[in-house]
């Protein structure tokens, strides 16, 4: 027991240190939630041929309307985020970024005003290099000017990509400088970085430094609308959890990329897995789908209050894998109120449902169910499992590629 107390003291000290070194802009105290256009709508710019899917002010106005009217805002999804391809091909006569005049005829300021009128916030995109990933003007050598421009437009979040930076030194300098420039504007702007992703091929990221500058950061490749993509993100996260889990917390989060639930590539069980595991990982929840045309089942899953409550838990600790046994993974996430979220993931892609049995002493270093606990199933459907003792075992039936999400509360 002394060893357990020592581990807990070390974990507490690490959490205090991480909190002290977080970006001090008072934002993202829980993982940000919203909608982002990229995975679903990419760089569609031909509004004449396809106005419904074109990256234009119409798309963001319509998405804001749906988010306000159909429960998304009330569920916690507050950001409407523009990704790459919003810009004109060149800066204006004052060297400022400008929106494409045909696709955004009212300008970003008017769009921000409209989004704000719906009780929502506007996110925008730029790049640390001289060009964005899609070839539009980047922010290199314009960090202060671009930050001031975004603030003057009423922007609430900046996604800052890492293409075309030239060198690792310029990449790091650019991410630092934009963070300082955003704070100098005096406007509250959440800062979303891709700094560690672009560093990793060459060097190990310094997450303590990254958290001093960024509110959340991407570590791995873009998500695709496929099970193989979701699986690769989870595998990468488990493999690197020793370096990334401890740094996450209020003000700074690891970002495994967008929720693709409601699109085309995931089965129901795989959609449940993405929602459950993004909650376990304390991930920012940015949907990339078409909210104007989404199934009732996907809407129920994405707006599930119990799952969102786990994701938004104020303790702010990221979950982690505690064991892997053949096709099963067992993950836990410490929550406030002496509770734990627990996920049982079945990787098998053949056959039918399988059972996984584990001892409750596995959870929380043996403390999650000591001397007893209540167990509630959250996903794939809400169900009360009753009260268990510390020495009990749970047997969980999980569909192939599915996840069962539980909440365990010590009594």
Using alpha carbons only, what angle is made at residue 216 by residues 215 and 217, rounded to the nearest 5 degrees? 135
Q: Could you tell me if 401 and 273 are in contact, meaning their C-beta atoms sit under 8 angstroms apart?
A: yes
SS (H, E, C) 257-283: CCECCCCCCCCHHHHHHHHHHHHHCCC
How far apart are the C-alpha atoms of 59 and 50, rounded to whole Å? Answer: 11
- Which residue in 100, 161, 257, 290 is the catalytic one? 161
- Which residue in 65, 222, 235, 269 is the catalytic one? 222
How far apart are the C-alpha atoms of 27 and 125, rounded to whole Å? Answer: 18
Give the H or E element holding residue 231.
Answer: helix 227-239
Look at the chain and count its residues. Answer: 411
Q: DSSP characters for 43-79? A: T---TTT-TTTSSSHHHHHHHHHHHHHSSHHHHT--E
Q: What pairing do the DSSP bridges indicate for beta strands 372-379 and 320-325?
A: unpaired
Residue 161 appears among annotated catalytic residues: yes
The alpha helices in 246-380, defined as continuous H runs, are: 268-280, 296-302, 305-311
Tokens 């300008």 found at: 107
Using alpha carbons only, what angle is made at residue 167 by residues 161 and 173, rounded to the nearest 5 degrees? 65
Annotated catalytic sites, by residue? 161, 222
């Amino acid at each position: 027991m002394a060893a357990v107390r020592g581990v807990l003291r070390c974990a507490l000290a690490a959490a205090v240190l991480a909190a002290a070194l977080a970006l001090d802009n008072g934002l993202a105290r829980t993982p940000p939630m919203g909608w982002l256009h990229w995975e679903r709508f990419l760089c569609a710019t031909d509004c004449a041929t396809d106005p419904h899917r074109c990256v234009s002010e119409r798309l963001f106005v319509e998405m804001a309307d749906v988010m306000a009217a159909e429960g998304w805002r009330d569920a916690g999804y507050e950001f409407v985020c523009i990704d790459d391809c919003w810009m004109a091909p060149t800066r204006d006569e004052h060297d400022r970024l400008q929106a494409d005049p045909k696709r955004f005829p009212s300008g970003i300021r008017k769009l921000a005003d409209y989004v704000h009128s719906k009780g929502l916030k506007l996110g925008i995109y730029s790049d640390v290099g001289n060009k964005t990933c899609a070839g539009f003007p980047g922010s290199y050598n314009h960090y202060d000017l671009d930050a001031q421009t975004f603030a003057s437009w009423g922007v609430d979040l900046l996604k800052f990509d890492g293409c075309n930076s030239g060198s690792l030194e310029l990449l790091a300098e650019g991410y630092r400088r934009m963070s300082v420039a955003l704070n100098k504007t005096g406007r509250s702007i959440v800062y979303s970085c891709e700094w560690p992703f672009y560093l990793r091929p060459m060097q190990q990221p310094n997450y303590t430094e990254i958290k001093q500058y960024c509110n959340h950061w991407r570590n791995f490749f873009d998500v695709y609308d496929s099970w193989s993509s979701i699986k690769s993100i989870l595998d990468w996260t488990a493999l690197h959890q020793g370096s990334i889990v401890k740094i996450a917390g209020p003000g700074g989060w690891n970002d495994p990329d967008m929720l693709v639930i409601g699109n085309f590539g995931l089965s129901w069980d795989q959609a449940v897995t993405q929602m459950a595991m993004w909650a376990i990982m304390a991930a920012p929840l940015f949907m990339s789908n078409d909210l104007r045309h989404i199934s009732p089942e996907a809407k129920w899953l994405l707006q599930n209050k119990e799952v969102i409550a786990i994701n938004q838990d104020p303790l702010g600790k990221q979950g982690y894998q505690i064991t892997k046994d053949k096709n099963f993974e067992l993950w836990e996430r410490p929550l406030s109120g002496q509770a734990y979220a627990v996920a049982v993931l079945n990787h098998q892609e053949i056959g039918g449902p399988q059972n996984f049995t584990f001892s409750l002493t596995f959870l929380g270093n043996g403390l999650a169910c000591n001397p007893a606990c209540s167990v509630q199933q959250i996903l794939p459907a809400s169900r009360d499992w009753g009260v268990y003792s510390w020495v009990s075992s749970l047997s969980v039936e999980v569909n192939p590629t599915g996840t069962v999400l539980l909440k365990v509360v010590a009594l």
